[in-house]
Structure 1
Amino acid sequence: MHTTEDHWITTPITADILRGALELERTAHGVLPHRLPAWARAQCADPQLAMVEAQPSGVRLVFRTRATAVELDTLPTKRVYSGAPPRPDGVYELLIDGRPAGQASVTGGNTLTIDMATGATENRPGPAGTLRFTDLPGGAKDVEIWLPHNEITELVALRTDAPIEPVPDRGRKVWLHHGSSISHGSDAASPTTTWPALAASLGGVELINLGMGGSALLDPFTARTMRDTPADLISVKIGINLVNADLMRLRAFTPAVHGFLDTIREGHPTAPLLVVSPILCPIQEDTPGPLAFDFSALAAGKMRFRATGDPAERAAGKLTLGVIRDELSRIVRQRAADDPHLHYLDGRELYGEADVAELPLPDELHPDAAAHRRMGERFAALAFAADGPFADHSA
Structure 2
Amino acid sequence: MDTPQRDWTTTYISAELLRGALDVEHTEHGVLPHRLPARARAQCDDPQLAMVEAQPSGVRLVFRTRATAVELDTLPTKRVYVGAPPRPDGVYDLLVDGRPAGQGSVPGGNALTIDMAKGTAEVVRGEIGTLRFDGLPGESKVVEIWLPHDEATELVALRTDAPIEPAPDSGRPVWLHHGSSISHGSFAATPTTTWPALAASLGGVELINLGLGGSALLDPFTARALRDTPADLISVKIGINLVNTDVMRLRAFTPAVHGFLDTVREGHPTTPLLVVSPILCPIHENTPGPSAADFGALADGQLRFKAMGDPAEVAEGKLTLSVIRDELARIVERRQPEDPNLHYLDGRELYGEDDFAELPLPDDLHPDAATHRSMGKRFAGLAFATEGAFGTMS
TM-score over 0.5 for the pair: yes
Partner Cα distance (1:6, 1:352) in 2: 53
- 114-123 or 20-29, which deviates more: 114-123
- Secondary structure of the corresponding residue to residue 144 of structure 2: strand
Aligned to 2:59: 59
Q: How many equivalent pairs are there?
A: 391
Which residue of structure 1 lines up, in the alignment, with residue 188 of structure 2? 188
In structure 2, what is the Cα distance between the partners aligned to 1:16 and 1:326? 42
2:240 matches 1:236:
no
Match of 1:203 in 2: 203
Is the counterpart of residue 216 in structure 1 residue 216 in structure 2? yes
Q: Match of 2:359?
A: 359
CA contact (8 A) 2:6 2:161 kept: no
Q: Deviations over 1:220-248 (max 9, x none)?
A: 00000000000000000000000000110
Alignment of 1:320-331 (within 5 A): 320-331=320-331
DSSP 3-state at the match of 2:25: strand
Match of 1:374 in 2: 374
Partner of 1:110: 110
The equivalent residue for 2:152 is 152
- Find the aligned partners of 2:364 and 2:121 in 1 and give their Cα distance: 24
**2: CA distance, partners of 1:48 / 1:119:** 12
Structure 1 unaligned regions, length at least 5: none
**What displacement does 1:310 show?**
0.3
Q: Secondary structure at the match of 2:257?
A: helix
Q: The residue matched to 2:298 in structure 1 has which SS?
A: helix
Q: Which residue of 2 aligns with 1:388?
A: 388
Deviation track 1:237-294 (CA, whole Å, cap 9, x = no partner) reads: 0000000001100000000000000000000000000000000000000000000000
Find the residue that maps to 1:215 and give its secondary structure. coil
Q: Which residue of 1 aligns with 2:278?
A: 278
C-alpha distance in 1, partners of 2:153/2:170?
A: 27
Q: Distance in 2 between matches of 1:191 and 1:170?
A: 20
| 1:155-202 CA-partner distances (Å, limit 9, x unpaired) | 000000001111111211000000000000000000000000000000
C-alpha distance in 1, partners of 2:282/2:169? 43
**1:81 matched residue in structure 2:** 81
Code of the residue aligned with 1:177 in structure 2: it is H
The percentage of aligned residue pairs carrying the same residue is 79
Q: Provide, for residues 130-158 of structure 1, a one-character-per-residue CA deviation record: whole Å limited to 9, x for no partner.
A: 01000011201110000000000000000
What amino acid is the match of 1:148? P
Structure-2 residue corresponding to 1:305 = 305
Report matched runs for 1:36-47 at 5 Å.
Answer: 36-47=36-47
Task: State the alpha-carbon separation in 1 of the partners of residues 370 and 6 from structure 2.
Answer: 43
Please state whether the residue corresponding to 2:319 is helix, strand or coil: coil
Query: CA-to-partner distance for each residue in 1:67-124, whole Å, 9 max, x for gaps?
Result: 0000000000011111111110000010011111111000111111111112211111
Q: Please report how far the alpha carbon of residue 357 of structure 1 lies from its aligned counterpart in structure 2 after TM superposition.
A: 0.3
Residue 8 of structure 1 corresponds to 8
For 1:134, the equivalent position in structure 2 comes to: 134
Partner of 1:125: 125
Once superposed, which parts of structure 1, at least 4 consecutive aligned residues long, lie more than 6 Å away? none
RMSD over equivalenced CA pairs, Å: 1.0
TM-score by length of 2: 0.98
Residue of structure 2 in register with 1:268 after alignment? 268
Q: Larger deviation: 107-116 or 149-158?
A: 107-116
Q: For residue 126 of structure 1, what is the amino acid of its counterpart?
A: G
8 Å CA contact 2:250–2:317 kept in 1: the answer is yes
Q: Does 1:253 align with 2:262?
A: no
* Long gaps (5+) in structure 2: none
How far apart, in 1, do the equivalents of 2:309 and 2:135 lie?
Answer: 55
| Partner amino acid, structure 2, of 1:116 | M
**Aligned counterparts of 2:13 and 2:321: Cα–Cα separation in 1:** 42
**Could you say which residue in structure 2 is the equivalent of 1:70?**
70
Q: Which residue of 1 aligns with 2:338?
A: 338
- Please give the secondary structure, in 2, of the residue aligned with 1:230: coil
